[in-house]
Chain A
Amino acid sequence: MSPLDRRRFLTRSLGALGAGGVGVAIGAGLGEQAASGAPAAPSLAAQAEQVNERSLALRIPFDGPNQSGILTPRQNEATFVALDSIAPNREVLFQALQALSAEARLLTQGDTVGVQEIDDPPPDSGILGPVDSPDSLTVTIALGGSLFDGRYGLVAMRPTRLTAMPAFEHDELDPARTGGDVLVQICAGQRDTVVHTFRELMRAIDGRLVPRWTIDGFQSAQRGPTVKNSRRNLFAFRDGTANPDVSDAALMNQLIWVQPGSGEPAWATGGTYFIVRTIRMHVEFWDRVGMLEQEQMIGRDRVTGAPLGGVGEFQDPDYASDPYGKRIPLTAHIRLANPRTPATADERILRRGYNYHRGVDEAGNLDQGLVFIAINQDPARQFATIQTRLEAEPMTDYITPVGGGYFFAPRGTAGGSDWVGSGLSAV
């Protein structure tokens, strides 16, 4: 049953039992810690260390009705890994997916690294030290349309709206950076946690799922003025301002989670479509554009994030009073992306993107951009509709989508040995 090597599994279990104090569930424990004891004015270094310890101890549940890493507030660091299956048959594929979930569950919940026999390779690479702190780690697992081809007899199980990612007008998709049978999103507070997770997950699935492409992302730091203000992307504009409210369960059922009776196979209920777009941003080109033109392309003030003509980031741009685009041009990004009309309310998506930086290209230009993540219930109704409208925006001169893919993130797991995608095995 368990895909883990038995010895390793025992070590892990013992470790997990013995490490009761390693993790702190999100939302609990912080207050008490702060209140207890009253050391006189700890040094800045000590304070920073304390903050770091607390943040490393933050734990996000792996199991639940929906997968984590979707509505979860964005952690600072991320890696996206697209995998192709080389499994010879369905059983081996399912074992690999099972192993992926099992390893992800252990890592996200925190674990003590054990040593089994001194002359054997250790079960954990150990790069985080003797304890794998949870560090807000989430591992989100999604399936690509190619997994539902003839290879594994899963054709009938394909989520109804899962297709290969179409090429939009300005796309220059590199096949080596596009698609994949499985997508894994790894997010955590610290880069080393993400790197460690990637490394351990690969060990769990080796010989069955192999990396096709991968990309690392980072979040801009919270630089205020308030904690509510959105972070900036690499064009320096605040990004994510108009995201739907993830605490509104009814809204999430309307926009994000696949509902029963929506024409989807039963196993898809509670899942969502997870769209990755690797978008190169030609930052040198952008930096040579006048400030006013930058702002008119986006439709917002670069400093405050306010819609043009406004004062606050979250102010309604009130397009109805600006029918000719005198304030916010009709082709401005925010206006095309979200016209804020009753007719377009159902098109809204949840964005959960990360900046990326991957060195320089042959011409000496920075290879920077956005790992754009769109999460939605129906790609055709939501993401693709918006993206098609955005083909008319002037900003297309400064960006080139080069990769990504359409994936389906199944519902969450019930705990124990349940695994993401287990609904597929109930045929």
Chain B
Amino acid sequence: MAVSRFGISDEGAPSPRLGPWRRHARLLAAVVGLALIALLAAALIPSGGSNGTKPFSVEAVAGHVSTTDGLRTHLTKVFGSNIPAKQYGTQIADIEDQGVDTNGQLASDLSPLPPSAFAAPIAAYRAYAERWAAKVAANVPALRGALASGNRAASEQSWSVVWSDYLHLGAVYGLLPGTIDQRIDGTPNALPADGLDGEAGTNFSGLHRIEFGLWTGAPPRSLVRWATQLRGDVVTLRRVLPSVQITPLDYATRAHEILEDAQRDFLSGTDVPWSRAGVLGTAAGLTATQEVIGTLTPLLQGRDNALGEVESWLMQLQAVLNHLRAAHNRSYPTLGQLTPAQHELLNGTMTGALGALSLVPGTLETTALPVIPKIPSAK
């Protein structure tokens, strides 16, 4: 699983091409510009002298514009900016176009956010994660019961519920202490040193161990022991969850990492080789991502155009998953059940969503770009 990426802004260097968000920013600027021109034109058109205002009066024009300028109000609200509203547009444009400030240093167009701004979003997410951990705990007994009854279909159904519940925790992966995540959701690393059969390894336990057994013909009753162990591991999970440390950097990068991992591990089939439940895992990852973005919305608003892009793409991805679910008797199809057209639609929409999410870490930067010293003169 991915360890945190250090979140240097992606605005660091000038790009020869405009990214989509930049195009949108430009489009927005153009629209606003046109509106201003229209306002100016309206003000400049002789009005017939109502209220005794002099036509072409500079004061009249300025006053007229300032009372209807929604943009000014908007700019003063940009979170974390320390640039006066009057200078904001030109300074930002320069930095966006060049990627350097007037001193020639690499510069982001956004001022860093104070790390304290992440406290409320992270607290909200922690509460969300604890709710899902409670669901996991509530559903493990049903899984154990289904296994004990020997009913394979019911066991597979129960497994799907618990696995999906666990994946909803999303943003806490990689932060859990010790081997909890490995014990609950670890996959076997098939290693030559282990005789090429990692599934048989003693360290392989948890949900994927049960998945392996269920989908490779093991008697469900033989898997009860793993569900019993899982029950204990989930108790541990719930105990440690309230004290898991999530840094602002971890949290900002989770916005894209959860779905990146879903694409790499689930849609590729890599981590679900037996159940092929890649769509189910992706849907859980999407819910977790929506929660992360939802909690970060107050921070993202007004900073570049990341939020609009992200919300649009997450909605599209949700719509595709809903469509797939509806098309398969209201349960998520396995990767193998997807038609080629459905597979392309899902893969392609995921790619679009990841492109939008890649804007988030740079938008939520908490540190200024570093100044890289030069190597001392040639030795």
A residues in contact (CB < 8 Å) with B: 164-167, 171-175, 178-179, 282, 284-285, 288-293, 296, 307-310, 315-318, 321-322, 326-327, 361-365, 394, 396-397
Contacts and interface: CB of A to CB of B under 8 A. Distances in A.
B354 interface: yes
A196 to B, nearest CB: 32
Contacts of B77: none
B12 A292 contact: yes
Contacts of A397: 2-3, 5
Given A288-B355, A316-B379, A321-B376, A173 B192 contact: yes
A317 B351 CA distance: 37
Interface in B189-209: 189-193, 196
Given A173-B192, A290-B12, A318-B375, 4 more contacts: A172-B189, A178-B192, A309-B375, A326-B370
Interface stretch (B50-58, B256-264, B304-312): B256-264
B224 interface: no
B268 A361 contact: yes
A396 B3 contact: yes
Contacts of B2: 397
B106 interface: yes
A364 B348 contact: yes
A231 B338 CA distance: 41
Contacts of B297: none
Nearest to A163: B193
A361 B269 CA distance: 9
Contacts of B175: none
Contacts of B196: 175
Contact of A308 (B11, B12, B372, B379): B372
Interface string B5-27: 11111111101000000000000
Contact of A290 (B8, B193, B270): B8
B373 A318 contact: no
A365 B379 contact: no
Given A291-B13, A397-B3, A363 B267 contact: yes
Contacts of B369: 292
A322 B370 CA distance: 15
10 contacts: A164-B193, A172-B189, A172-B270, A173-B189, A175-B196, A309-B374, A316-B375, A318-B379, A365-B268, A394-B3
Given A290-B8, A316-B379, A364-B347, A173 B191 contact: yes
B267 A289 contact: no
B335 interface: yes
A291 B12 contact: yes
Nearest to A287: B358
Contacts of A165: 192
Given A167-B189, A167-B192, A361-B268, A321 B347 contact: no
B362 interface: yes
Contacts of B263: 363, 365
A309 B376 CA distance: 9
A310 B375 contact: yes
B332 to A, nearest CB: 16
Given A175-B192, A310-B375, A362-B335, A284 B268 contact: no
B327 to A, nearest CB: 19
B350 interface: yes
A365 B344 CA distance: 12
Contacts of B379: 316, 318
A363 B350 contact: yes
Contacts of B355: 288
Contact of A362 (B7, B269, B358): B269
A309 B373 contact: yes
A293 B376 contact: no
Contacts of A322: 373
Contacts of A171: 189, 191
Nearest to A292: B12
